[in-house]
Chains A and B, each alone.
Chain A
Amino acid sequence: MRGNNRIVCMAYDALAGLSAGLALAIAAEQWTWLDMRCNTGILAPLAILAGAAIGYIRGRVEALTGPLCLLALILVVLVSTGGNLAFAAIIVGVTLRDGFGLPDLSLLLADRLALLLALGSLIVFACFPRRREM
């Protein structure tokens, strides 16, 4: 039972890590010097791994972590694109595509994947209404 709970913690923090990683990657893309020298999208998978590790070590879920990471992602996307929704879709999809090393993935599919991940994250985050000791 305890092992299962650790897996839940890892999954929760990994999803929170995805949102945080995408937010960091998109924020980093705004630094053109860096964007011209490396693939900042790599921060997304790295943040997933970091989130999973944190979830495993901490062994509990902080219910606000996930929603706050997702909120950070939405704010970073809106600020970096000036609220232009078409540009927002491009940036989220391309960052996901480049970050996970899928250059042949169409932008449309990448956007749908981002939508699924966002909705999946929200469902998971909503399932943790309070801090849970595992």
Chain B
Amino acid sequence: MKRSSKRGTLTIAVAALLALAAMILLAGCSSKQQASSAPPSNTAGSPASNSVSKDNPLAVDKDAKTVQIYTEVNAKYFVEPTRHGVVFKDGKNASMAVFKAWANQNDFYNALIAIGAQPGNNLDLKTAGKSAEGSPLDVTITWAGAGKEIPFNDAIIDTQHKTPDYRFGGNQDRAKTINTGCILCLDSCPVGITSNAAYPQGSFDGKKVEFRGNKDVLPADGTPVTVTFKLK
């Protein structure tokens, strides 16, 4: 009887301590998240932020040679490493990217062709160590309240700090058949439509580099962000 009473007291004490810890951990964190997820005010300095939306996720400007897509931030990759920069929301890798796109990777491919970009198509699943080729692209992001176009690489923490080299890798057939939804890969990829050629294929899987979203630059989880690809 005494033993059972001691055990009961111990359980209540453990439960009380856990309650305190959980409340501090989760309540404290919730308030921080709430503070950071307050919608930023709209400013006139973000020209691209209103051109795409969930209903119209892809915009092509042939004169300016730009393709814009609507995305939302996934804060998971502020914490965990990933090799996926932008992925279509219905693709297999949708939840594994820093930015979840509403534009389909196949439509995005056709949009790049429409602005005159040339796909590299030099990678396949057995070309580890090679870098993606194809037309070079400038990639920038903006969102309501950002006030300017921000280089994509500022939004990514890259453990090797290399200057990015975004290329139109192509890979349309594999993008269709495998349907990962990959639009922008942070190292050279035989499936993604665009890749960062500064890192050869297999760099991330070989643990040579890690990428994370930069929480000091990016807005809160779920914030709409326009990603602009401009043909150089």
Residue numbers of A with Cβ under 8 A of B are 29-30, 32-33, 35-36, 39, 63-64, 67, 70-71, 74, 77-78, 81, 85-94, 98, 103, 106-108, 111-112, 114-115, 118-119, 122, 125-126, 128-131
Partner of A111, one of B8, B29, B89, B93: B29
A130–B92 CA distance with the chains assembled, in angstroms: 46
A5–B159 CA distance with the chains assembled, in angstroms: 54
Residue numbers of B with Cβ under 8 A of A are 4, 7-9, 11-12, 14-16, 18-19, 21-23, 25-30, 32-34, 36-37, 74-76, 78-84, 89, 93-96, 100, 205, 210, 215, 220-222
A130–B220 CA distance with the chains assembled, in angstroms: 44
Whole-angstrom distance between the Cβ of B213 and the nearest chain A Cβ: 10
Whole-angstrom distance between the Cβ of B214 and the nearest chain A Cβ: 13
- In the complex with contacts A70-B22, A85-B29, A90-B79, A108-B15 CB distance below 8 A: no
Whole-angstrom distance between the Cβ of A131 and the nearest chain B Cβ: 8
- In the complex with contacts A90-B221, A98-B95, A103-B95, A115-B79 CB distance below 8 A: no
Partner of B29, one of A33, A67, A86: A86
Whole-angstrom distance between the Cβ of A59 and the nearest chain B Cβ: 19
- In the complex with contacts A77-B25, A128-B11, A129-B8, A111-B33 CB distance below 8 A: yes
| Residues of A close to B28: CB separation below 8 A | 85
| Residues of A close to B18: CB separation below 8 A | 67, 70-71, 74, 122, 125
Contact B15 A67 (CB under 8 A): yes
Contact B14 A74 (CB under 8 A): no
Q: Kindly name the residue among B14, B74, B76 whose own CB sees the greatest number of chain A CB atoms within 10 A.
A: B76
A-B contact pairs, 7 of them (CB 8 A): A29-B80, A39-B95, A67-B14, A86-B29, A108-B33, A126-B11, A129-B12
Contact B19 A122 (CB under 8 A): yes
Whole-angstrom distance between the Cβ of B19 and the nearest chain A Cβ: 4
| Residues of A close to B210: CB separation below 8 A | 32
